[in-house]
Amino acid sequence: MTKHDLIIRIAGEGGEGIISAGDMITQACARAGLDVYTFKTFPAEIKGGYAMYQLRASSERLYNQGDSFDVLCAFNGEAYDLNHTRLQPGTVLVYDSPGGDFEPDIPEGVHAYPIPMTATAKDLKSPRAKNMVALGALSQLFDIPEASLREVIAAKFARKGDTVVQANLTAFAQGRALAAAQTKTDAYAVEHAKEKRDVVVMSGNHAIGLGALIAGLDFYSAYPITPATEIAQYVARHLPKRGGTLIQAEDEIASISQVVGASYAGKKAMTATSGPGLSLMSEMLGMAFMSETPCVVVDVQRGGPSTGLPTKHEQSDLFLAVHGSHGDAGRIVLAVESVQDCIGLTVQAFNLAEKYQVPVLLLSDGSLAFSTQTIPYPDPDSYQKVERKRWDGEGEYKRYAQTEDHISPMADPGTHGATHIATGLEHNELGMPNYTPANHEAMQAKRFGKLKDVVTDFPAAEIDGDGEAELGIIAWGSSIGVVREAVQRLRDEGRKVKGFYPKLLCPLPAGQFEAFGATCGRLLIPEVNYQGQLAHFVRAETSLRPESYTVCGGLPFTPGMIVRKVKEMLA
Ligand code: COA
């Protein structure tokens, strides 16, 4: 039997090379033309603690990391202990034995392959190559293309020198030999793709960096924070090559301030952070709204509050993203679903920021940040890019001129005849401080008036399914991919279920929510946060009364969880 998808979970201790081994399988599967979707979770420590990499590979389109695994590769006793309840009959256990730190009681019906990972690596005098012994065994057992893996190993360790490359290739070959010496009792294997496609494998963080470059990013400033740092690392590799500037600022307040300053100077500017950093930026977000300065702020959400769960997944910054500032401060908030979205929605974030002269917050999350997925080879020319409305040099320059669409032409500082002040103080059309009641009301109406058009300007939220449904599921962020599969499974079982997948969360397209709700008997909003943050906004801004399904254990939903919840509700 060859299943359409194969899910392999590699688990062990941080520092044992779990992530490297998983990435290598991902690359090899993608090169073989398969769709891949990965999920990683690791501790906040650099070394030690439980690390896990789940890889799903299929010849069909994938939207999430799947439910549980078909194959568990356990590097140590802790990894086995944390996962053994999921070892159902028919699943596979590959584990470090003899010579490992545990000897499992193999549950009935589980196919078990003991591979002496630690001992073999030690015998080869390459203790770090334990992961390569495991990789070799997995490659042999599940038909993961050997030649691709050898290429990926050589490329990965090239910068560490030829000795390291050769040692790892030897350990890999040894792992294959050890597995080949065993009798294969299970029938799992990766599918062989029908055709090779023009694709790349990218993480969500890198895709956001790429999206920013496609949008025309000129200036990037950020302070490092997990899980957002990789965006800066990606941008740092590419932005200077085309004359842009990247600064690692002393903190998040400095980084957003520099971004607002660069944008005032006429540049497309962005920062990326996570929840704690976004909290620090709230004052300057108000300044950007007040001074009508375009900027893009990426928030790669992680478990909170406070320092919280720095390396874990959560969707709990929606309240902060929408309302985090004093006074009435508006902004646009978008949320990405997938790696593909991380490119496209980042471009859209810039377009909206430039067009409406507002801060745009782009919400990603910990699961998507590190998830690697196969996406079509990006074509920068296929994205539409929007530039800010610039002053034509005619007449008196009024930076905050009241116009029909509430958008005032901008002039770069230094433009002859366009001297102006961009201030956080309330101001008149010229930018001069003015605190009269009539002026403040008129200017707030101008600034918020712009945002009204965003709802019709932005593509309508996708509706997954037609006609009337017993139950509608509204999902946002990376939970959308999970809900897509759950909706499909439920429909395959004859349930009348639909999905609604908004990417624009502020201003909330309330009319679209209402229209969707009108076609559904009941509504469910699954979210990875404690308070049901989107459900709160939907209840506040529409007549709908969705039920919340919230989890906040640092892990994303699985399709099975949604399916079970829906069945419970419809029982
Ligand atoms: N031979 C030689 N080197 C090897 C190897 C092998 N067989 N296998 C892995 N390595 C190297 C990797 O190249 C990597 O080195 P590099 O960073 O120089 O590239 C290193 O060993 C770690 O391996 P990797 O596979 O990337 O990770 P891991 O599975 O061992 O897990 C992490 C380590 C990722 C969990 C941990 O290092 C980490 O970063 N934790 C998160 C820290 C954090 O963000 N905290 C939050 C603070 S608020």
Task: Identify the structural domains of the chain with CATH numbers, from first to last.
Answer: 5-180 (3.40.920.10), 201-382 (3.40.50.970), 389-458 (no CATH), 462-570 (3.40.50.920)
- The 10s digit of each residue's pLDDT in 295-350 is 999 999 999 999 999 999 999 999 999 999 999 999 999 999 999 999 999 999 99
Q: What is the pLDDT of residue 192?
A: 79
Question: Please, are residues 297 and 275 in contact by the beta-carbon 8 Å criterion?
Answer: no
Question: Please, are residues 502 and 461 in contact by the beta-carbon 8 Å criterion?
Answer: yes
Sorting pLDDT into bands at 50, 70 and 90, what band is 3?
low
Question: Please, are residues 239 and 268 in contact by the beta-carbon 8 Å criterion?
Answer: no
Our mutation pick for probing the ligand 1 site, out of 13, 25, 38, 42, counting the most ligand atoms within 8 A of Cβ, is 42
Sorting pLDDT into bands at 50, 70 and 90, what band is 356?
very high
Share of the chain above pLDDT 90, in %: 93
Q: What is the pLDDT of residue 271?
A: 98
Output the pTM of the full model: 0.94
- The 10s digit of each residue's pLDDT in 171-203 is 999 999 999 999 999 999 998 777 777 889 999
Residue bearing the CA closest to ligand 1, atom 46: 44
Question: Going along 42-138, which residue ranges are E strands?
Answer: 50-58, 71-74, 92-96, 111-115
- Mean pLDDT confidence for 526-540: 98
Residue ranges lining ligand 1, Cβ < 6 Å: 14-20, 42, 44, 46, 51, 128-129, 131-132, 157, 160, 164, 168, 226, 310-311
Q: What is the pLDDT of residue 1?
A: 34
Q: What is the pLDDT of residue 46?
A: 75
Our mutation pick for probing the ligand 1 site, out of 20, 26, 150, 223, counting the most ligand atoms within 8 A of Cβ, is 20
CA 14 to ligand 1 centroid distance, Å = 7
Q: What is the pLDDT of residue 191?
A: 82
**Average pLDDT score over the chain:** 95
- Mean pLDDT confidence for 408-426: 93
CA 537 to ligand 1 centroid distance, Å = 39
Q: What is the pLDDT of residue 49?
A: 86
CA 19 to ligand 1 centroid distance, Å = 7
**Does residue 114 have a pLDDT over 80?**
yes
Which residue type, as a one-letter code, is found at position 552?
Answer: C
Q: What is the pLDDT of residue 233?
A: 98
In angstroms, rounded to a whole number, what is the distance separating the alpha carbons of residues 463 and 569? 21
CA 522 to ligand 1 centroid distance, Å = 45
Distances (CA, A) of 24 to 64, 162, 397, 479: 19, 18, 57, 26
CA 367 to ligand 1 centroid distance, Å = 17
**Does residue 66 have a pLDDT over 70?**
yes
- Polymer length in residues for the chain: 571
Our mutation pick for probing the ligand 1 site, out of 19, 233, 309, counting the most ligand atoms within 8 A of Cβ, is 19
CA 47 to ligand 1 centroid distance, Å = 8
With tokens 């709908």, the residue in question is: 544
Q: Rounded to the nearest 10 degrees, what angle do helices 252-264 and 275-290 cross at?
A: 30
Show Cβ contacts of residue 47 under 8 Å, excluding neighbours closer than 6 positions.
13, 14, 15
- Mean pLDDT confidence for 227-246: 97
Residue bearing the CA closest to ligand 1, atom 9: 17
C-alpha 346 chain-centroid distance: 12
Q: Which atom of ligand 1 is nearest to the CA of 15?
A: 30
CA 273 to ligand 1 centroid distance, Å = 22
- The 10s digit of each residue's pLDDT in 308-319 is 999 999 999 999
CA 52 to ligand 1 centroid distance, Å = 12
Q: What is the pLDDT of residue 2?
A: 40
Structural tokens at position 117? 């990972």
CA 480 to ligand 1 centroid distance, Å = 29
Residue bearing the CA closest to ligand 1, atom 14: 17
- The 10s digit of each residue's pLDDT in 423-436 is 999 999 999 999 99
- The 10s digit of each residue's pLDDT in 465-513 is 999 999 999 999 999 999 999 999 999 999 999 999 999 999 999 999 9
**Does residue 229 have a pLDDT over 90?**
yes
Sign of the Cα torsion 468, 471, 477, 481 reads negative
